[in-house]
Structure 1
Amino acid sequence: RHDRRTRLQRNEHLHKAWEDQLPALVDQYLIWRHGHDPAMQVDEGLCHVFHVDSIGVFTFTERLAVTQRQDELSNAALIRAGLLGCSPIQPVVAVRLECLELYHQLQRRQSSFSVQAMVKVLCALQNISYKRHLRNQFAAAFDVYLSIKRRIRIALCQMLDRNGLAWRLSQACPSCTFKLAGEVVLSPARLHNMDGNFSAKRLDGSGSADPRTFESDYFIPIADVDRFKNNSRKNPKSGATAGSTCSSNWSAAAKVFEEDKICVFEQTGIFLLAC
């Protein structure tokens, strides 16, 4: 049957299905990662067994049997077995959690190491020909794995009272924010470097098939930033009346004076501040 839904509609249904499962998947992942499941012993007569193809670092297992309890999500049953499915409903392919964690740590140390490169490595280790759908399956499982890790980190930060609006700014740099008794006051006290990443611009409307917003305490919402975009004009500094050709000669700043023109590029919002 031909699927008449748009890509945006398909993605919305997919993300909604995963979002509804995340609380249960987080709980099951913590049980698998840190402890023994007290309900491990159940009546096998009340269980359902389904099969998936399991992808590991060095092994590929076809039709691996997975036991599913009554009223248990299929992906929760997979996590209990150390796997994570590539689809939210009726998964037929699953990736081992150790394999996902390996790629997670590799990407943290080398961000340019792509999903495609990882899947090609796995195919080489298991003597399997690479196909594009393998990359899509691994990417789907990895996205959900990162969502589980983020949910755990958010809950941990809430327990440690590290979730305030200004916590990241005031506590993230110990050498700058923590002072010893009698410590000499430096001048300036802190040094910051900022970059607007103007070269990272993109066409307005690109990426419209995925409307999700990445939640992180490193980012300030665009709506909060836009409240101050005209402050410099409303409250000019005293004495700053001398004309300057710097803004008109600098192509990145010239856009400020061309707001009445049609712009095809969207501001990325990537404005890095480093201490």
Structure 2
Amino acid sequence: MFVAPGDEAFTLSHEGGEHEAFEDLAWQVADAHGVCYQDSRTWHDHIELQTEHWMLQMERLINAYLDYCYHDTGDGLPAPEESEAGAQCLTDVELIDMFTRRRATLPYKLHHLYPNEALIYHGYIGCSPVLPTVAVSLHTLASYHQIHCICPQFGIQAQCKLLCHLHDVHLQPFL
């Protein structure tokens, strides 16, 4: 059936049931390609779950931070120690500092349960509570805090843009 330009609306009306047929066809195409994602959780649910994961770790993270402060030699890294036998490692984490960006493998201490515990011990904090793949240095966050106290208009998004510019990384809008 040939439809003249401008007459498309006449062939797809709500009255004749064509709209429902079109929706059914669209669902069939989506199912055939495996593109149908249905997640009943809301954005609030995602944030709540992430907050719960952080809260489960909070006491251990505080202890790891105090341990980091105690062992800090001033260069942002804890004093070199012998690696513990049987200790696991946090592998292939992207570490971001104000002027450096690198991938590293960081050893856990035997008493560390969470990845962020090991990261904080080494002077970084992960960007997610459970499986961090990117971590920002505590010194970078401290400098952001100082800048934000002086200039409250300087927000976290501006800091992210600054770090992306310094490290030649394209800013992703969801970060």
Asked if these proteins are the same fold (TM beyond 0.5), I'd say yes
The answer for the alignment partner of 1:32 in structure 2 is: 68
Range that drifts further, 14-23 or 124-133 = 124-133
Q: Is the CA contact 2:89–2:108 (under 8 Å) kept in the aligned structure 1?
A: yes
Query: How many Å apart are 1:14 and its aligned residue?
Result: 0.7
CA distance in 1, matches of 2:38, 2:109: 34
Query: How many Å apart are 1:42 and its aligned residue?
Result: 4.6
Give the gaps of 5 or more residues in structure 1.
137-275
Question: 2:94 matched to 1:58?
Answer: no
Query: Which residue of 147, 150, 154 maps to 1:113?
Result: 154
How does 1:1-275 map onto structure 2 within 5 Å?
Answer: 2-35=38-71, 41-62=82-103, 64-70=104-110, 72=112, 73-133=114-174, 136=175
Residue identity in the other structure for 2:108: Q
Q: Is the CA contact 1:85–1:95 (under 8 Å) kept in the aligned structure 2?
A: yes
CA distance in 1, matches of 2:42, 2:67: 38
Give the gaps of 5 or more residues in structure 2.
1-36, 73-77
CA distance in 2, matches of 1:76, 1:3: 31
TM-score for both structures, normalised by structure 1: 0.44
Number of residues of Structure 1 aligned to a counterpart in Structure 2: 132
Query: How many Å apart are 1:77 and its aligned residue?
Result: 0.2
Give the match's secondary structure for 2:102: strand
Q: Is the CA contact 1:50–1:68 (under 8 Å) kept in the aligned structure 2?
A: no
Q: Is the CA contact 2:97–2:136 (under 8 Å) kept in the aligned structure 1?
A: yes
Q: Is the CA contact 2:84–2:110 (under 8 Å) kept in the aligned structure 1?
A: no
Give the match's secondary structure for 1:87: coil
Residue identity in the other structure for 2:162: V
Query: How many Å apart are 1:66 and its aligned residue?
Result: 1.2
Q: Is the CA contact 1:48–1:70 (under 8 Å) kept in the aligned structure 2?
A: no
The answer for the alignment partner of 1:191 in structure 2 is: none
CA distance in 2, matches of 1:25, 1:79: 7
Query: How many Å apart are 1:59 and its aligned residue?
Result: 1.2
TM-score for both structures, normalised by structure 2: 0.67
Query: How many Å apart are 1:123 and its aligned residue?
Result: 1.6
Query: How many Å apart are 1:29 and its aligned residue?
Result: 0.8
Percent of pairs with identical residues = 30
Q: Is the CA contact 1:74–1:90 (under 8 Å) kept in the aligned structure 2?
A: yes
